[in-house]
Chain A
Amino acid sequence: MTAATDRGFTLTRVLNAPRALVWRAWTDPAELVWFLNPGTGPTKEPISVDLRVGGAFRVHMIVNDQLEYMTGGVYREIVPMERLVFEWGAVDGWPLLDPARPNDAPLTTLEFAELEPGTTELTLRVSFPREMADERAAEWLGSGMREGWGTTLDRLVDQLAS
């Protein structure tokens, strides 16, 4: 029953670049520009990277005139060229990080494997802690709480109360 107890997803990419460059693309603020949406205007804060456990990387994302947010992560584990683990999000952004509750953040694990010289397999795994998953699921449900959704829930509440 992985869906309910261990919620997350994995993305794997085979990249035509040596592992050292893939690592640099993730950890050098000058190279992290690929995080930004293409064709968007200047950001309110330059990309920053504090590459140490407990340090953060921060990226100001602009989607359009109406939507902009901070994202990034707080590093949990750093094994150069091999493994990078961070709590995904920002204290003032999305996903929202609460410094008092680091275990509630979606944990992102990157693994860098050089398949052959010049080819790197990057595996990105995001896992959601149980509490956060429930919260987000409820939020998602809440965002759809219109028309049919509300009545469906009301019916369920009635059934449970009866």
Chain B
Amino acid sequence: MLAFEDDPADELLSATFAALADRTRRAMLARLARGEATVNELAEPFAISLPAISRHLKVLERAGLVTKSRAGQYRPCRLNADQLEKVDEWMTPYRAFFAARLDRLDQHLATMVAAHKEGKNS
């Protein structure tokens, strides 16, 4: 169903899943979804140290989920929504299931419509 080869995009995706497996990191992403934030701002709601937040940020950056602006003293962090969307690829088999079913439904309805018309005429 899905190919797993030595594909850098796959490697990145696996890093993305691993990054998302942590509650703190998900909460950090949720904060970034509302807009850019500095490391200090990101750390605020959590009862963990700034270095710990920095480590989480590094994981998120390597997973392609967060980018740090190069400009400016505070280097705000930003959410990379493109990478987040790729996470949804695990959904592919589920989507493929119904897409195939609906193709068949379309064909089956043609025979139902024909039978229906015949029934009316007889």
Contacts and interface: CB of A to CB of B under 8 A. Distances in A.
B79 interface: yes
Interface stretch (A17-25, A43-51, A79-87, A96-104): A17-25
Contacts of B50: none
B15 A159 contact: no
B106 to A, nearest CB: 6
Contacts of A31: 108, 112
B97 to A, nearest CB: 8
Interface string A140-152: 1101101111001
Interface in B86-120: 87-88, 90-91, 94-95, 98-99, 101-102, 104-110, 112-113, 116
A21 B109 contact: yes
Given A4-B84, A11-B98, A148-B6, A137 B112 contact: no
Tell me what chain B mostly uses at the interface: helix, strand, loop, or mixed: helix
Nearest to A24: B112
B14 A153 contact: yes
B75 interface: no
A147 B6 contact: yes
Contacts of B87: 3-4, 137
Q: What range describes how many residues of A lie at the interface? A: 35 or more
A137 B104 contact: no
B113 A144 contact: no
B88 A148 contact: no
23 contacts: A1-B84, A3-B81, A4-B87, A7-B91, A9-B94, A13-B105, A15-B105, A21-B112, A22-B105, A22-B109, A25-B105, A25-B112, A31-B112, A122-B105, A128-B91, A137-B17, A141-B14, A144-B4, A149-B4, A152-B18, A157-B18, A160-B22, A160-B59
